[in-house]
Amino acid sequence: MKTDVARRSPAIWGLVALLALVVGGCSDAPDAGGSGPASESQSAVDIGYQGMLNPWKAAIQTGAFEKATGRTINWRKFSSGAEVITSMASGDIDIAVAGSSPIATAMSRGLDVELFWILEGIRDNEALVARNGSGIKTIQDLRGKSIGVPFASTTHYHLLIALEQAGIETKEVKLLNMQPDAIMASWTQARIDAAFVWSPVLNRIVETGEVILTSGKLAELGNPTFDGIIAQQDFAAANPEFMTTLVRVISEYDADYRDNKWTDQSPQVGSIAKLTGAKPADIVAVLAQYDFPSLEEQTSTRWLGGGKDEGAAKALHETSVFLKGQKNIPSVLEDYSPLVNASWARAAQDSSSAPATGE
């Protein structure tokens, strides 16, 4: 049963309209056994995911979440965080993956969601790349050039940060709102000079381009970004055991990756390849570019724990301040920590269920 969040917050329709314009742009893993409690609704759950390569894709492909929770899950693939947030604002999905920039936009505009898991800390898996022959060697060379980037995404946010730090006004470059697949096509046809995008498209365009700047470098300079999982607040509150089990399964797949150093021959990588169509060797290379926080790190002040001036809450606030300065959002919340919920990760951490062996 979907939550009609749009009726509860008039600001949401403004968000839907804004993002609609932006979009117009052998053993596989640990398996958390068990099923959802009778006290919770057993209706289907709608979860949105994107094309980034990460361990939880193996759990999606093998049906580990359905087996662990006992619930039917409708998986919906989206091309960008802007598309995800539009769907969340309409009440079409219960849980979804989005980057920190679209999450900050949604929260700032009053969408009733909570951030409950850091899917990955973004490092070198997002980068600004100049196409060979474009004449771009440094950030300063971007003036007068065309740059493909998915608007309202973490790469869009980081591109705007990079331009501001370099003293380049956006009117001095040609910013093109493109989803990753469109970037790949335009790159191949030499229709764009540069792109700021994430893997796996990133790994393909660097074959004929040069990395100018990575999101990891911008994070070191004080502008971190991440991909997170958010939930409708009403849904999460009504489904505590589902939320806890979901988090536990994600954390077990992340731990399995960290502990066992998956290779292109690992069955988990094979599962990710089946779901995404990516080559196993590329998957291994991309996974190595990410930071997948453990349960302990998730609940610490580095990410979901702490107050307004720590971790994800601080990053969301700083992102929102920048977005407001760019006139992308009308206002900034004083405190984002009430919208960052570490309780499901703590519950998963405290769970006495032993990891099962997978299938």
Q: Give the CATH number of the domain where residue 145 resides.
A: 3.40.190.10
Same domain, residue pair 95 and 34: yes
Question: Would 356 be classed as within a structural domain?
Answer: no
C-alpha dihedral sign at 250, 347, 305, 16: positive
The last residue of a domain, from among 173, 194, 220: 220
pTM of structure = 0.80
Domain that holds residue 212: 126-220
The last residue of a domain, from among 176, 196, 220: 220
Give the pLDDT of residue 120: 94
Same domain, residue pair 191 and 247: no
Same domain, residue pair 16 and 103: yes
Give the pLDDT of residue 39: 59
Question: Would 162 be classed as within a structural domain?
Answer: yes
Question: Would 278 be classed as within a structural domain?
Answer: yes
Q: How far is CA 76 from the centre of its chain?
A: 14
Give the pLDDT of residue 200: 87
Same domain, residue pair 263 and 208: no
Report how many domains make up the chain. Answer: 2
Give the pLDDT of residue 185: 98
Same domain, residue pair 114 and 139: no
Same domain, residue pair 31 and 115: yes
Question: Would 187 be classed as within a structural domain?
Answer: yes
Q: pLDDT tens digit string along 189-211?
A: 999 999 999 988 999 999 999 99
SS3 content of the chain, % helix, strand, coil (to 5): 45, 15, 35
Same domain, residue pair 160 and 209: yes
Same domain, residue pair 38 and 63: yes
Question: Would 357 be classed as within a structural domain?
Answer: no
Question: Would 346 be classed as within a structural domain?
Answer: yes
Beta-carbon count within 10 A of 4 CB: 11
Are β-strands 146-149 and 174-177 bridged in parallel, bridged antiparallel, or unpaired?
A: parallel
User: Could you give the residue ranges of the DSSP H alpha helices within the chain?
Assistant: 5-8, 11-23, 56-62, 64-69, 81-89, 100-108, 154-165, 180-188, 201-205, 215-220, 233-238, 240-260, 267-276, 280-287, 295-298, 311-325, 343-350
Same domain, residue pair 210 and 114: no
Which residues, 6+ apart, have CB-to-CB distance to 270 below 8 Å?
A: 280
Give the pLDDT of residue 118: 97
Same domain, residue pair 92 and 167: no
Same domain, residue pair 200 and 230: no
Question: Would 359 be classed as within a structural domain?
Answer: no
Question: Would 84 be classed as within a structural domain?
Answer: yes
Give the pLDDT of residue 16: 43
The last residue of a domain, from among 164, 189, 220: 220
Q: Which residues of the chain have pLDDT under 50?
A: 1-13, 15-38, 352-359
Give the pLDDT of residue 11: 46
Same domain, residue pair 231 and 345: yes
